[in-house]
Structure 1
Amino acid sequence: MLAVVEVPSEPKDEKDYVRNVQKYSRFGIDFYMIADPFTATVTLMSEPHAAGYGRVVEIPYGEQVTFTLATGERIEIDTGTFPTRDAGGA
């Protein structure tokens, strides 16, 4: 698998931010992206290794997320329309 994109269902979701980071990096997923509606931030991880990702970039909603898959395909995502959620409402 080349990339995984997830949206947490609750603030600071341990499943997405801890367990899945470890699992996806261990299995060699090149890119793991978390689009967090509670923080209005995209976390893009790359350079997987046995215990996590070597490169982590945080991009605020409203900015472009761009990365290139191992197949050569360039992925460009406009985060300007991503919905947000109030952390208190979860």
Structure 2
Amino acid sequence: MTIAPDDARRSGSHVYRAMRDLVQSMDDTDTIPGKFEITQEGIVHDMMSPIGPHELTVLRLRKRLEKVMPEEIVAHTGEPDVECQSEGIMRRPDVMVIAEADMETEGTFDPHTICAAIEVVSRSNPDNDWVSKVRDYPLIGLPIYAIFDPRTATGAVLTDIHPTPEGPRYATRKDFVYGEDVTIGDWTISTDDLPRYQD
């Protein structure tokens, strides 16, 4: 579900600041399930409570990446958000590949410190991962975006940001199916035994 006014992208405006304050206040309470993010379209509320296949996929991806990455690079899950105030976008990827030293900051992460963003597609709101984030992530400069979809046991790795009339977009997309090895940046991991959603 998306809620917000048309001028949400104007990060310097009182509208963006009000949305940011609202999202942060919602994150501070455990009474509303799901996750809130700010996109160019406004506030997105993914109402999905974490479920087994989603969380297990996140866990396995994090562990597999950290086995092949140098010690100073981590596959971080959780807070804080990645924020680009100039574009009025605040997101929280399921997994963020980032140098541990770049985590030593107050507040949100600068998107230019993120090596890669990884999302596990939500069963309740797949367009958030396959459409909105495909638009937002190159706009804020995330160089690599990997998508894992437990609905279909497929995914894609998007790279090579380039300018287009609609704004920055990923130029390269490499699709994969579960069971194949997948390369994210400099690191290749297995997609064997990643869980699927059950109908």
Tell me the TM-score range normalised by the shorter chain.
Answer: 0.7 to 0.9
Gapped regions of structure 2 (runs ≥ 5): 1-113
Residue equivalent to 1:21: 134
- Report the structure, 1 or 2, having the larger helix content: 2
Equivalent residues in 2 for 1:8-87 (5 A)? 8-10=121-123, 13-49=126-162, 50-68=167-185, 74-86=186-198
Residue equivalent to 2:76: none
Distance 2:117 2:131 in 1: 15
- Report the structure, 1 or 2, having the larger strand content: 1
Q: Is the 8 A contact 2:116 2:184 kept in 1?
A: no
Q: Is the 8 A contact 2:180 2:190 kept in 1?
A: yes
Larger RCO, structure (CA 8 Å, separation 6 or more): 1
Q: Is the 8 A contact 1:3 1:30 kept in 2?
A: yes
Deviation at 1:12?
7.0
SS in 1 for 2:192: helix
TM-score normalised according to structure 1 size: 0.80
Higher mean displacement: 43-52 or 29-38: 43-52
Higher mean displacement: 13-22 or 44-53: 44-53
Size of the aligned set, in residue pairs, is: 82
Note the aligned Cα RMSD (angstroms).
Answer: 1.7
SS in 2 for 1:81: coil
Distance 2:154 2:178 in 1: 5
Residue equivalent to 1:71: none
Render the CA deviation track for 1:13-37: whole Å, top value 9, x for unaligned.
Answer: 1110111111101111111001100
Gapped regions of structure 1 (runs ≥ 5): 69-73
Question: Which has the higher Rg, Structure 1 or Structure 2?
Answer: 2
TM-score normalised according to structure 2 size: 0.38
Q: Is the 8 A contact 2:157 2:184 kept in 1?
A: no
